Amino acid sequence: MQVDIVVLAAGKGTRMRSQLPKVLHPIAGTPMLQHIVNTVAELSPLATHVVIGHGAEKVRESVLGEHLSWVVQAEQLGTGHAVMQALPNLRGDIALVVLGDTPLLKASSLKALLDSVNTQSYGLLTVESADPTGLGRIVRDANGNVQKIVEHKDATPEQLAITETNTGIMAIPRQLLEKCLPMLSSNNAQGEYYLTDLIELAIAEGLQIVSAKAGSEMEVQGVNNRVQLATLEREYQRQQAEAAMTAGASLADPQRFDVRGSLSVGNDVFIDINAVFHGECVLGDNVSIGPNCTFYNVVIGDGAEILANTVVEDARIDARATVGPFARIRPGTHLGEGSKVGNFVETKKTLLGKGSKINHLSYVGDAEVGDGVNIGAGTITCNYDGVNKHKTVMGGGVFIGSNSTLVAPIDIAAGAFVAAGSTVTNNVSDNQLAVGRARQRNIDGWNKPTKKDK
C-alpha cells in the first residue's frame, strides 16, 4: 500500500500565550512539528501534507523535510475540515492522519497501525488513559468492535467512564475520504467538523474498524500549554538519559542532562550534572565530562577529559586531551592527542598539536600549533587587522613565554623561544630566542602622585 501522511498543524494554541505558532514551540531545541516530520519520514510515505493556518509562513520557514506539501486551512473548523483541505493532494491508498503537537510519537506505533489496515478497513491508534478528561472515548460493542468515537463534551455519563481514548491518529482509505468527508456535519457542541464522525460512516460503508495501541500516554500526549510542554521536555530528556546509560555512560544525575540533537557515547563515559549536548555529538570510550558543560557538534576521543564550565562548539578533541575548567573551544578547533587547554583559555579555528599546552588565560585563534608546544599564560594571537584574519604558525617544541602578543601573519619555527612579555611582529627561525619588549628603566627620585584638593 502507498501511504500519504496528513499532519494537522493549523491551530493557534491560544493557551500557550505566545506569538509563536504552537507547533513551533521546541522540545529539545527542535520545533514540535519538526519532530513529527522526522518521525513520519521513517515510514517512507509518498508525501507528507502539513495542514497549516495560524502563522503559516513562519511554520513553512521553520520546518524542513523531504516530500513536504503545505496545505493552508484558512479557517480552523475542526479536524475533518483540515483533512478536507488536504484531500485534493492525496495520491496514496491510505491517508495516515497525525497531529503536529505530539512530539514524542514513535514510528513503531505508526507502523503497527499501518500494518493493521487495508483499503477495506479504518484504523485508529488508541491509548489507555489514566485520566481521560477532555479526550474522545472509544465506544465498542459487546464483541469489542469499535462503533464510534465520542468527544468528551458530547459523551453520556456511561461513555465518560471509558478509559480507552482516541489519540487523534488515524489510518483512513483515500476512497472513503473522497466519498464521506463531504457528508460530515458540524451539528455538535463545538460547531466543528469532527474527523472522528467518519467512524460511523465507515461502518455504514461496510468497512472494518481496526485499532492499534500506543505504547504509553506520553507518546501521544499533545501540548496545549507551557506546563504540558515542560512535561514532555522532561520525558524526552528522560528517554535520552536512559539511552545514554544503556549505551555505556554513567550520569551523575539523569534529571540534569539534556540532549538537543543526537548523542553517541562509548563505554565507561562519565557525564556530570547539567551537561547539554546540541547538534551531533560523539563521545569515545572513557570520556569524562565535568559539571555545567555545553557542547555543539563535537567529536571527543577516547580518554579525553572536559572539566567544569567548558563550552565546546564545532570542534574535535582527540584522545586523552584535557580541556578546562572554564575554557571556550570555538568552531574549527582541533585539539591533538594528549594536548591541554586550561582555565580561561579561548581557541578558534586552531590546530593544537599532540601534547601541546595552553594552560591558562590565553586566546589562540587562526593558528597552527605543532607538537609539544607550550603557550604561556596571557598569550594572544593577534589574528584580525580590522578587515582580514591572519594565521599564526608555530613549529614543534616552540615555547611561548607568558604575556606574549603574536601579531599575525607570523611563523615561529620549530624549537624557537619567545621571551615573556614580548610583542612579536616578525618571523622567528628555528631555535631562536625572540625578545620583543621595551628596555626597562629604573628612575631614582621619582615622586608618587598626590591627591589634589577639589
Residues with catalytic roles: 360
DSSP string, 273-298: TTEEEEEEEEE-TT-EE-TT-EEEEE
DSSP class of residue 426?
S
Cell 491510505: give the residue. Answer: 94
Closest CA to 291 of 305, 279, 308: 308
DSSP string, 129-141: -SS-TTSPEEEE-
Closest CA to 403 of 341, 360, 346: 360
CA 70 distance to own-chain centroid: 23
List 165's β-bridge partners, or say none: 127, 137
- ∠308-314-315 over CA atoms, to 5°? 70
Cα→Cα distances 76→49, 54, 110, 194, 212, Å: 16, 9, 25, 12, 28
Amino acid letter for position 90: L
Contact (Cβ atoms closer than 8 angstroms) between residue 283 and residue 266: yes
Amino acid letter for position 410: I
Q: How many CB atoms lie within 10 A of CB 430?
A: 12
Closest CA to 202 of 115, 121, 90: 121
List 271's β-bridge partners, or say none: 251, 289
How far is Cα 98 from Cα 7, in angstroms, rounded to an integer? 5
List 269's β-bridge partners, or say none: 249
- ∠46-47-52 over CA atoms, to 5°? 160
